[in-house]
């Protein structure tokens, strides 16, 4: 593989990642707009909150599957929501998002992910203790 070919592929990947980041921010804003349909708002809040959360549902340190949510689920969620929002609204907020320097974060989403992990751990412990008692 030539260096020119490799750098072209890397540049495409970089542009795609940048457009995903911009669309997450645009969804964050579009979900707050009264012109956005309620069902798109609901899904946009979920996708944007998850994508902007500092905590993943599947932690990245888990080999292979730890990155699946970042590589597959988040982009598919973004694509689905973008198609639900009127194009003129998305264009407006894509422009706004591209002009932003900072990144909004979602404390609420982080708390929700922590609660999911605590519930999963409690359920696992309950299953283990139930199994141990029955043995």
| 64 backbone φψ class: left, alpha, beta (φ>0; ψ -120 to 50) | left
If we measure between CA atoms, which residue out of 72, 70, 79 comes closest to residue 26? Answer: 79
User: pLDDT digit string (tens) for 115-127?
Assistant: 888 998 899 999 9
Q: Taking 60 as the threshold, does the pLDDT of residue 4 lie above it?
A: no
Average pLDDT over residues 86-105: 82
Q: DSSP label at 103?
A: -
User: pLDDT digit string (tens) for 21-73?
Assistant: 788 888 888 888 999 999 999 998 788 777 777 777 677 777 777 777 777 87
Which pLDDT score, from 0 to 100, does residue 39 have?
Answer: 94
List the beta strands (DSSP E) in 52-107.
none
Indicate the length of the chain as a whole number: 135
If we measure between CA atoms, which residue out of 118, 128, 104 comes closest to residue 26? Answer: 104
Which pLDDT score, from 0 to 100, does residue 19 have?
Answer: 81
Which pLDDT score, from 0 to 100, does residue 37 have?
Answer: 94
| Pair 94, 30: CB distance under 8 Å | no
Which pLDDT score, from 0 to 100, does residue 73 have?
Answer: 79
d(CA 6, CA 130): 54
| Pair 31, 45: CB distance under 8 Å | yes
Mean pLDDT of the chain: 81
d(CA 128, CA 132): 6
């Amino acid at each position: 593989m030539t260096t020119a070919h490799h750098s072209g592929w890397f540049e495409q990947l970089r542009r795609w990642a940048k457009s995903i980041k911009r669309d997450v921010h645009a969804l964050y804003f579009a979900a707050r707009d009264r012109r956005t349909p309620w069902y798109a708002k609901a899904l946009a809040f979920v996708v944007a909150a998850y994508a902007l959360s500092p905590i993943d549902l599947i932690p990245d340190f888990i080999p292979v599957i730890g990155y699946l949510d970042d590589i597959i689920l988040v982009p598919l969620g973004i694509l689905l929501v973008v198609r639900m929002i009127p194009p003129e609204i998305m264009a407006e907020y894509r422009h706004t998002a591209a002009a932003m320097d900072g990144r909004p974060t979602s404390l609420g989403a982080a708390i929700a992910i922590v609660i999911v992990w605590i519930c999963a751990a409690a359920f696992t412990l309950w299953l283990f203790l139930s199994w141990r008692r029955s043995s």
